[in-house]
Amino acid sequence: MTSLFDSYQLGGLRLPNRIVMAPMTRARATMDGLATASMATYYAQRATAGLIVTEGIYPSLQGQSNPGGPGLASDAQAEAWRPVTDAVHANGGRIVAQLMHSGRVGHEEVAGYLPVAPSAVALPTPVFTPTGPKQAPVPRALTLAEIPGEVQSYVDAARRAIDAGFDGVELHGANGYLIQQFLSSSANQRTDAYGGTIEGRIRFAVEAAAATADAIGADRVGIRLSPGGTVQGIVEDEMPELYGALFAELARLDLSYVDVLATAEPELLIALRKAWPNTFILNPGGQISPSPSTLADGERWLAEGADLIGYGRAYLGNPDLVERFRTGAPLREVGHETWYQGGDTGYIDYPSHQY
């Protein structure tokens, strides 16, 4: 029987185990989007994970979501990531950059731009700004002529990521950000080639993945998806058919992996696993579960056919999560108040378990 502690070959990367540190917003970058020494420490502390996926990194200033988020929108930002990737590799780890274009999940006070989206449909929930939570503005609908530029933003950021020493990139197509906004039947009200039909709604995701794969190699590109996920005002009509079509098109690109949140019924997730020819990462916690996923959750999904298991909240207070799982040591819970507050407290001050 496959175990979380078995090694795995992911493209050109040999993973020592099947535990993935999932992407989690921590808001510890500088206000101009530079990664910091504390961020290098944070990721290096967790380098025993089979694979680390970073927090969402904005690929362009237009795509910035929240204060304190890091970027790969400039060469200076890429250079700031180099000490992070070096630290992870020095500790024996592997790390990919999650590229997250926020689309409508943003505010002029954060990025200096009115957010853009498939359609002029406002996010129904507040967004973070430097002066506190505020209602999201109505975004500006992208014109047909502008869409290739948003695709290119992923390409440019992916190239910078490789230059900065990352082992690959993951496109954030989940949790209500730009790619899922195009997939959505609520956020996407377009009637042109990028909306309306299932073929139209998946087009942006496929084009972004294809262009990124062409730029840095398909074996270094993954994509994160949350089928049927409803956070940030997302509705996806014809969801099983939508993701069946999306997986079929993405499979043609021979991407390294899909990283899927457990936001749909198990039967659909298993069907998507069977339809996907390459590595399938499953995050049992869905979209911010009430409690961290467990070792048993991961083993169950491995038995259902997943190749790797993503853990998010369990990694917040347990940098040595692999060792804790292996030995049965207790997990440390972390309160919400430290997730996004900034500073080193509740970030890099969690010691490893004394075995």
The residues carrying an active-site annotation are 177
The Cα-based distances of 63 to 86, 102, 109, 111, 172 in angstroms read: 26, 5, 13, 8, 12
50 alpha-carbon distance from chain centroid: 16
203 alpha-carbon distance from chain centroid: 19
Measured on CA atoms in the order 183, 239, 66, 313, is the torsion positive or negative?
negative
The Cα-based distances of 112 to 31, 66, 69, 143, 148 in angstroms read: 12, 12, 14, 20, 21
Selection from 287, 198, 173, 283 nearest residue 248 by Cα: 198
**Any idea which residue has 């409508």 for tokens?**
104
Are 262 and 306 in contact, with CB atoms under 8 Å apart? no
Are 191 and 169 in contact, with CB atoms under 8 Å apart? no
What are the structure tokens assigned to 20, written together? 């993935």
For residues 202, 219, 53, 51, the Cα torsion angle rounded to the nearest 10 degrees is 140
Residue type, 74: S
The Cα-based distances of 235 to 62, 144, 148, 182, 187 in angstroms read: 24, 23, 25, 11, 8
What are the structure tokens assigned to 120, written together? 């002029």
118: CB partners within 8 A, 6+ apart = 103, 141, 142, 181, 182, 184, 187, 188, 189, 190, 194, 195, 204
Q: What's the angle, vertex CA 198, arms to CA 197 and CA 200, rounded to 5?
A: 65
Eight-class DSSP state of 47: T
